[in-house]
């Protein structure tokens, strides 16, 4: 049984999300920190929550069909599949009548709107593609707000790399209509590369993103430079996608039946067969009294030419960027259609390297957008120089009201550490575990975090029982304490949250109040040395990684302070070490600040750079 112990209110994290506003499907994800993210699914509304203004269908799924309908009463429905639903808003936003694909002009009742825009007729009047997109965004924002518990502070919204200014502006307008503050628009391929962490320190080079969706095919070649993705070239085919593969199967099935079959049944069946053949080698099919079997080999034979076409388009993108296949370091798959196994096979043969396809190709763009939202809002403080360490030592009370430290201060988290204890009295069958936080060896000068009892110990002589106490702190600073008696396996634990729940002043105050006896001095010396070594190490790395951020003379000042600290560590005066450490931290303060700022401004600069 674990009990939750709230030490103080955690500061609320900003409510930010990434949104993949897709042609066929859209989804929303949120950052979890540490470069991770998760998709938010629609769901039943928790009791008492106000009904959303619009109704979204398929509400418990992660993928929301990118569609909206308006009825005579002006009621809006989002995410439906049937007639009356406007589905291809993304292919119309920011375009004039004469720029629209022929198929859309045939499918919808369109009329010209003001400033060379398009209007779509609905039973409640003409709507613009921007309005359709806004309703989809609003539906996604509503599900995110329910999950995050309040209005959104910002969103990163993805757009195709080839979107021009008007299309990007129209997407921003849609977000504004939906009341969503836009942190930035992010190119879809860049989002996919971010989801795979291809922007992080050791990763370099060029990324080819292969995105095969329902009706479109996009290729982008990105180059990573100084943590920023630049788009080197884009290519694609706006009339090539999963639908074409469905159509091939429909034709094949109809020819096997030997007579006409209803087109919509054939279409749906073709799609189902295609999707099944991504998972297995053969599938059985029945339609209009006919029954047969289709194998993956059959399907691959008929679809190979389509896939070759996509590879030709890859070559075209390479040519535009003046690159050879060998210049590509990573190939990333995006879009539901890349689940067809032949695609990765052919790409692996062409590029002679593994393609990245571990992340669900439907989710990868939204997840990457969420990662970016986390970076921009400070939820993700990657490479934080002196952060993400325990601010104070954590330990347990032992005999004589003394503290036995289990995790020393400044230990990087996450961390898990275990120490063995024993009983102090003969026949003792229970043990009180008192968890404390602070730098003093005396319990009363530390902060008491939790107290629990381990029962069911075998009645042994004092000093015989072996009790392991384990402290684990996860990346969120949540401390979990577990005690286990080794011979009987009796165990109990508690969760303490959050470790960072102290104010800066609390921490400073607790760091000041510490004893002065011999033992204390020795402990203080060891702590000071360990603190100093960690800072020297982290700073040494930072100086190499971000040398370009150093300003005139700064490097020398930091170097001198480092050398001074390294010398002081050799001595045995904890105060002198602390002073030298402080001097070093001061000399590096602005450099550290710039490192943090650069993470954010680089990300922002990416917006301009890859918007080109």
Q: Could you list the active site residues?
A: 20, 90, 188, 211
Residue 143 lies near ligand ADP (rule: CB under 6 A): no
Q: Which of 221, 214, 487, 231 is nearest to 337 (CA)?
A: 214
Query: Is residue 336 close enough to count as binding Mg ion by CB under 5 A?
Result: no
Query: CB 276: neighbour CB atoms within 10 A?
Result: 16
Give the separation between CA 46 and CA 69, rounded to whole angstroms.
26
C-alpha distances in angstroms, 527 versus 514, 530, 564, 573?
Answer: 13, 5, 18, 11
Applying CB under 6 A, the site for ligand ADP has a residue count of: 20
Select from 31, 35, 79, 213 the one that contacts Mg ion (CB under 5 A).
213
**Residue 52 partner contact from Mg ion, ligand ADP, none using kind-dependent CB cut-offs of 5 to 8 Å:** none
Q: Is 214 in the site for Mg ion (CB under 5 A)?
A: no
Query: Residue 365 or residue 490: which is nearer to Mg ion going by CB?
Result: 365
3-class state of residue 485 by DSSP: strand
What is the pattern of x (binds ligand ADP, CB under 6 A) and - over residues 237-256?
-----xx-------------
Q: Which of residues 362-391 bind ligand ADP (CB under 6 A)?
A: 362
Which of the ranges 280-288, 331-339, 507-515, 561-569 carries the binding residues for ligand ADP, by CB under 6 A? Answer: 331-339
Q: Tell me the window of 31-39, 248-256, 328-336, 455-463 that interacts with Mg ion (CB under 5 A).
A: 328-336
Residue nearest to ligand ADP (CB): 242
Q: What single DSSP character describes residue 442?
A: B
Q: Which stretch binds ligand ADP (CB under 6 A): 147-155, 213-221, 260-268, 560-568?
A: 213-221
The C-alpha angle with vertex 133 and arms to 127 and 137, in degrees rounded to 5, equals 135
Per-residue tokens: 212 = 């095969």
- Which residue, 341 or 378, has its beta carbon nearer to ligand ADP? 341
Q: Map residues 278-297 to x or -, x wherever contact with ligand ADP holds by CB under 6 A.
A: x-------------------
- Across the chain, how many H-helices and E-strands are there? 13, 28
Sign of the four-CA dihedral 394, 397, 403, 405: negative
User: Residue 57: helix, strand or coil by DSSP?
Assistant: coil
Binding string, residues 1-30; x marks residues near Mg ion by CB under 5 A: ---------------------x--------
> What separation in angstroms does the CA of 359 have from each of 126, 352, 544?
39, 20, 32
Query: Which of 570, 504, 587 shows the shortest CA–CA distance to 532?
Result: 570
Cβ pair 94, 168 in contact under 8 A:
yes
Indicate the residue among 273 and 436 with the shorter CB distance to ligand ADP. Answer: 273
**Residue 242, binding choice from ligand ADP, Mg ion, none, Cβ under 5 to 8 Å by partner class:** ligand ADP
- The nearest distance, CB 220 to ligand ADP, in angstroms, is 14
For residues 337 and 211, give the distance between their C-alpha atoms in angstroms, rounded to a whole number.
Answer: 8
Nearest approach, Cβ of residue 448 and Mg ion (Å) = 53
> What's the closest the beta carbon of residue 28 comes to ligand ADP, in angstroms?
14
Residue 509 is inside which H or E element, if any? helix 504-512
Rank residues 236 and 335 by Cβ distance to Mg ion and give the closer one.
Answer: 335
Our CB check for ligand ADP shows the closer of 339 and 599 to be: 339
The distance of closest approach from Cβ of residue 212 to Mg ion in the complex, given in angstroms and rounded to an integer, is 9
Hey, is 395 helix, strand or coil? strand
Alpha carbon of 464 to those of 427, 433, 456: distances in Å? 10, 18, 15
Residue 287 binding result from Mg ion, ligand ADP, none, given CB thresholds of 5 to 8 Å by partner type: none
- CA separation for the pair 151, 155 (Å, rounded): 11
Query: Closest separation between CB of residue 20 and ligand ADP, Å?
Result: 8
Instruction: Give the closest residue to 115 by CA, choosing from 133, 91, 97.
Output: 97
Residue 429, class by beta-carbon neighbours within 10 Å (0-12 exposed, 13-18 middle, 19+ buried)?
middle
* Interaction of residue 213 with ligand ADP, rule CB under 6 A: yes
Residue 142, binding choice from ligand ADP, Mg ion, none, Cβ under 5 to 8 Å by partner class: none
Closest approach, Cβ 490 to ligand ADP, in A, equals: 49
Q: Pick the binder of ligand ADP from 15, 16, 21, 22 (CB under 6 A).
A: 22
79 binds ligand ADP (CB under 6 A): no
Residue 185 or residue 403: which is nearer to Mg ion going by CB? Answer: 185
440 token code pair: 């003093």
The angle subtended at Cα 185 by Cα 179 and Cα 191, nearest 5°, is 125
Binding ligand ADP by CB under 6 A: which of 214, 391, 408, 574? 214
Binding segment toward Mg ion, per CB under 5 A, in 81-89, 117-125, 206-214, 218-226: 206-214
| Sole binder of ligand ADP in the list 16, 24, 131, 222 (CB under 6 A) | 24
434 binds, among ligand ADP, Mg ion, none (CB under 5 to 8 A by kind): none
Of 89, 127, 174, 340, which lies in the binding site for ligand ADP, with binding defined by CB under 6 A?
340
Q: What is the nearest approach in angstroms of Mg ion to the Cβ of residue 56?
A: 19
- Coil, strand or helix: which one is 54? coil
203: number of Cβ within 10 Å: 15
CA-CA distance, 476 to 285, in Å (whole number)?
50
Task: Return the number of other C-beta atoms located less than 10 Å from residue 454's C-beta.
Answer: 22
Residue 270 binds to ligand ADP (criterion: CB under 6 A): no
Q: Contact, 396 vs 403, CB < 8 A?
A: yes
Binding residues for ligand ADP, per CB under 6 A?
Answer: 22-25, 213-216, 242-243, 271, 274-275, 278, 335-337, 339-340, 362
Binding residues for Mg ion, per CB under 5 A?
Answer: 22, 213, 335
């Amino acid at each position: 049984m674990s009990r939750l112990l709230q030490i103080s209110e955690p500061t609320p994290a900003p409510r930010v999300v990434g949104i993949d506003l897709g042609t066929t499907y859209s989804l929303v994800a949120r950052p979890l920190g540490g470069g991770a993210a998760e998709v938010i699914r629609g769901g039943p509304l928790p009791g008492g929550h106000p009904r959303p203004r619009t109704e979204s269908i398929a509400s418990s799924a992660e993928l929301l069909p990118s569609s909206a309908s308006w009825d005579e009463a002006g009621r809006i429905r989002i995410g439906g599949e049937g007639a009356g639903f406007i589905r291809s808003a993304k292919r119309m936003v920011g375009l004039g009548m004469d720029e629209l694909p022929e198929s859309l002009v045939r499918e919808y009742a369109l009329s010209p709107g003001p400033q060379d825009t398009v209007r779509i007729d609905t039973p409640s009047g003409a709507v613009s593609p921007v309005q359709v997109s806004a309703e989809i965004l609003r539906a996604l924002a509503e599900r995110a707000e329910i999950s995050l518990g309040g209005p959104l502070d910002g969103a990163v919204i993805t757009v195709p790399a080839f979107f021009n200014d008007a299309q990007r502006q129209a997407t921003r307008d849609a977000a504004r209509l939906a009341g969503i503050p836009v942190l930035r628009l992010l190119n879809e391929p860049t989002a996919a590369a971010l989801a795979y962490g291809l922007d992080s320190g050791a990763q370099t080079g060029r990324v080819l993103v292969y995105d095969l969706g329902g009706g479109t095919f996009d290729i982008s070649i990105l180059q990573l430079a100084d943590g920023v993705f630049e788009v080197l070239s884009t290519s694609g085919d706006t009339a090539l996608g999963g639908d074409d593969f469905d159509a091939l199967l429909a034709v094949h099935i109809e020819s096997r039946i030997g007579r006409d079959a209803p087109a919509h049944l054939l279409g749906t069946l073709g799609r189902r067969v295609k999707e099944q053949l991504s998972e297995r080698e053969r599938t059985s099919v029945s339609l209009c009294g006919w029954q047969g079997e289709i194998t993956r080999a059959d399907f691959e034979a008929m679809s190979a030419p389509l896939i070759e076409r996509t590879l030709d388009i890859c070559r075209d993108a390479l040519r535009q960027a003046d690159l050879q296949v060998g210049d590509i370091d990573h190939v990333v798959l995006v879009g539901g259609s890349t689940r067809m196994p032949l695609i990765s096979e052919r790409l692996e043969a062409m590029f002679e390297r593994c393609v990245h396809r571990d992340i669900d190709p439907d989710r990868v763009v939204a997840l990457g957008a969420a990662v970016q939202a986390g970076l921009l809002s400070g939820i993700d403080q990657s490479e934080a120089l002196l952060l993400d360490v325990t601010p104070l030592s954590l330990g347990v009370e032992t005999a004589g009201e003394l503290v036995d430290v289990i995790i020393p201060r400044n230990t990087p988290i996450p961390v898990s550490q275990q120490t063995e204890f024993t009983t102090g009295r003969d026949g003792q069958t229970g043990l009180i575990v008192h968890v404390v936080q602070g730098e003093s060896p005396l319990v009363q000068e530390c902060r008491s975090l939790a107290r629990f009892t381990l029962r069911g110990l075998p009645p042994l002589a004092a000093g015989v029982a072996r009790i392991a106490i384990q402290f684990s702190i996860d990346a969120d600073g949540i401390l979990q304490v577990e005690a286990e008696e080794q011979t009987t396996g009796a165990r109990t634990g508690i969760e303490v949250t959050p470790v960072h729940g102290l104010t800066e002043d609390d921490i400073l105050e607790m760091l000041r109040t510490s004893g002065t006896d011999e033992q204390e001095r020795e402990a203080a010396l060891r702590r000071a040395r360990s603190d100093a070594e960690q800072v020297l190490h982290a700073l040494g790395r930072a100086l190499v990684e971000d040398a370009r951020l150093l300003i005139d003379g700064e490097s020398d000042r930091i170097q001198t302070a480092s050398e001074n600290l390294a010398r002081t560590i050799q001595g045995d005066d904890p105060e002198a070490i602390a002073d030298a450490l402080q001097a070093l931290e001061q000399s590096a303060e602005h450099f550290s600040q710039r490192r943090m700022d650069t993470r954010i401004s680089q990300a922002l600069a990416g917006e301009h750079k890859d918007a080109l």
